[in-house]
Amino acid sequence: MCGIVGYIGGQPAAPFLVEGLTRLEYRGYDSAGIAVLSRDAKAKEKTTAVRTVGRVRELEAALPKRLAGRVGIGHTRWATHGPAAERNAHPHRSADGRISVVHNGIIDNAASLRAALEDAGVEFASDTDTEVVAHLVARSEADSLEAAVLEALGRVSGTYALAVMDERHPDRIVVARSGSPLIIGVGDKEMFIASDAAALVRHTDRAVHLDDGELATVTATGFHTFDQYANATERTPVQLAVAVEDLELSGHEHYMSKEMREQPEAAETVLRGRLDERFATARLDGLMLDPRELRSFRRVKILGCGSAYYVGQMGAQMIEDLARIPADAEAASEFRYRQPIIETDTLYVVVSQSGETADTAFAVNEIRRKGGRVVGLVNVVGSTIAREVDGGIYLHAGPEIAVASTKALTNMGLAFGLLALHLGRLRDLSHADGLRILRGLERIPGQIREVFESEERIREVAGRIAGAQSAFYIGRVRGFPVAREGAQKFKEISYVHAEAYQTSELKHGPLALITPEMPTIAVIPDDELAERNIAAAEQVLARKGPLVAVSHPGVDLARLGVETITVPKNEPELDPILLTIPTQLLAYHAAVALGHDVDKPRNLAKSVTVE
């Protein structure tokens, strides 16, 4: 959610810190700051710290012209404790200025630690939970920075990714991780620290991903990892799977626009090598489950947050349709708090673009602690969830920068199609039906391209509804998750209130809100419920409600005279994947028409690493 960067080596640290923070802007933040250790041993101030509210460009403008220190840490903050203000921006420092800390996550017992420190005479300069760590490290009487950090963390409960600098030990940065990602980039006589590989790719292609409970001492010449008991651990750098060009706009106005247009290629990538025509099934070796194990599951439970939850609902319907196994989706953020019953004959599937979504990662821990089998649909290799699950399906959508997920979401839907096909063919799905679904999956990349041929019309429709105060999205059975995801996209980037309802529920209350000022976006697939969906649309029109239909060529809507966005027809089980694409475009063009920052919607973050 927040961003951490750090540098130690032979070059000035500030340029990397600023560049790295800029690369992490997509994660969402409201303030930024850096702290750099001076090269001048006689300098009155050994640490130069600059913090600003707003974008990284404001931070860069506020930096001294000469900032030559070769050790530094930086941070972009998404407010949790205390408002967006300079005093709350990171890095936070100890009272004597010796210790500087940047932190992602939440210190659960910060209030009690703060009270104890204040009783001991410590004066706090911020409202944050992070500042307690700086004071705890500074007050330690340990002989080394590593020991002081360990002592401080022994008093802390919560989640954290930390980077700590000490003026007494200017040759090192100590980092620690528990529940929030942290990566060490390995260079040539220089080392990098980041919470996301995007900050590293211009400088190194080798990195070490810390595990939960692991710490490291990072110097210009290398790193040493150890656990919470100071025992050495073994870490080997791995190749980063992100290229610099993947993170560029490449001529597009917004990352969201670029990523939507990358969907056909991303879809081809997730399907490549996974379609088995001979047996009319999917090859999913990454699940690490043999046919006998897969047949033993009597239920599938899918967990995700936000858009991942809604695509999980699509996936549950696919699994029930094709495999005839009871399946349902649930918000991962609520899962562990309702004392869930973990069943050994249930296959748990967690979904996360970043692989770092805190609520979903905690759900994985709960399932594994109680003996459940959990697999993941994750986009980022080496991420927390990818390493914690028993197996899974990598989405291979490529880096996704815009906060609103598009290509990763589509690949999640395709991955569920593969999983449903695989499970179905292990049970009662016929070879003919398996081949039907396989052919349907093969058609999807080309059909996504067809949707974009209607983009200009979709832009015009979006411009007409952008000025509304509220909007309804409605859909039924397979169409309902499409409506939920559509409403999510519309509200998060256009800031227009949007709600999703099952079409059948309109008459049970929401119809009272239909007015000429309240547009309704109706998902009407060409399926067995098409006539019922059309009847509901007529109820909206009878009350003079503006209506936009997202539908198929075979649905007769001409007699209603409504605005229709037509989507190519695929197999009924796979149609929701394609029906989602126009809702992305509607949201995007509405947000553009309203002049909003499409890639960085207010108050939101790309990877939600706090509860």
Strand-pair category, 373-378 with 346-352: parallel
Q: How far is CA 514 from the centre of its chain?
A: 34
Helices 145-153 and 131-139: crossing angle, nearest 10°? Answer: 130
Identify the active-site residue in 2, 46, 569, 600: 2
Ranked by mean pLDDT, which of 77-86, 416-425, 526-535 comes out on top?
416-425
**Which pLDDT belongs to residue 606?**
66
**Could you read off the pLDDT of 87-99 as tens digits, one per residue?**
999 999 999 999 9
**Which pLDDT belongs to residue 559?**
81
157 falls in which pLDDT band (50, 70, 90)? Answer: very high
CA distances in angstroms from 303 to 123, 307, 425, listed in the order given: 43, 11, 23
The whole-chain average pLDDT of the chain stands at 93
As annotated, the residues of the chain forming the CATH 3.60.20.10 domain(s) are 3-247
- For 263-299, what is the HEC assignment? HHHHHHHHHCCCEECCCCEECCHHHCCCHHHHHHCCE
**Which pLDDT belongs to residue 603?**
79
Identify the active-site residue in 258, 407, 569, 606: 606
Give the side-chain half-sphere CA count within 13 A for 346: 21
As annotated, the residues of the chain forming the CATH 3.40.50.10490 domain(s) are 454-596
Q: DSSP letter at 199?
A: G
**Could you read off the pLDDT of 457-488 as tens digits, one per residue?**
999 999 999 999 999 999 999 999 999 999 99
**Could you read off the pLDDT of 494-522 as tens digits, one per residue?**
999 999 999 998 888 888 889 999 999 99
Q: What are phi and psi of 355, to 5 degrees?
A: 75, 10
**Could you read off the pLDDT of 538-595 as tens digits, one per residue?**
999 989 999 999 999 989 887 888 889 999 999 999 999 999 999 999 999 999 999 9
CA distances in angstroms from 285 to 181, 289, 350, 352, 395, listed in the order given: 26, 8, 17, 19, 14
User: Is the confidence at residue 3, as pLDDT, over 80?
Assistant: yes
> Dmax over Cα atoms in the chain, in whole Å?
83
Q: Which residue has the higher pLDDT, 56 or 78?
A: 56
Fold of 3-247: Glutamine Phosphoribosylpyrophosphate, subunit 1, domain 1 (3.60.20)
Q: What are phi and psi of 176, to 5 degrees?
A: -150, 150
Q: Nearest Cα to 221, choosing from 195, 187, 174?
A: 187
Is there a catalytic annotation at residue 606?
yes
**Which pLDDT belongs to residue 80?**
78
CA gap 401, 196 in Å, rounded: 11
CATH of 454-596, one of 3.30.70.100, 3.20.20.70, 2.60.40.10, 3.40.50.10490: 3.40.50.10490
- pTM of the predicted model, to two decimals? 0.84
Q: How far is CA 397 from the centre of its chain?
A: 13
CA gap 579, 552 in Å, rounded: 9
**Could you read off the pLDDT of 246-261 as tens digits, one per residue?**
778 888 999 999 999 9
For residue 257, give both structure tokens: 């626009």
User: Is the confidence at residue 62, as pLDDT, over 80?
Assistant: yes
**Which pLDDT belongs to residue 329?**
98
User: Is the confidence at residue 58, as pLDDT, over 80?
Assistant: yes
Q: Nearest Cα to 80, choosing from 611, 492, 582, 488?
A: 611
For tokens 């923070």, what's the residue? 21
**Could you read off the pLDDT of 339-373 as tens digits, one per residue?**
899 999 999 999 999 898 889 999 999 999 999 99
Say if residues 412 and 311 touch (Cβ distance below 8 Å). yes
**Could you read off the pLDDT of 38-51 as tens digits, one per residue?**
866 566 668 999 99
Write b or e for each residue in 411-449: b if 16 or more Cβ atoms lie within 10 A of its Cβ, otherwise e: bbbbbbbbbbbbbbbeeebeeebbebbbebbebbbebbe
**Which pLDDT belongs to residue 417?**
98
H/E segment holding residue 332: helix 332-335
438 falls in which pLDDT band (50, 70, 90)? Answer: very high
For the segment 8-13, the average pLDDT, to the nearest whole number, is: 95
Q: Residue 151: helix, strand or coil by DSSP?
A: helix
User: Is the confidence at residue 326, as pLDDT, over 90?
Assistant: yes
Is there a catalytic annotation at residue 305?
no
Say if residues 21 and 3 touch (Cβ distance below 8 Å). yes
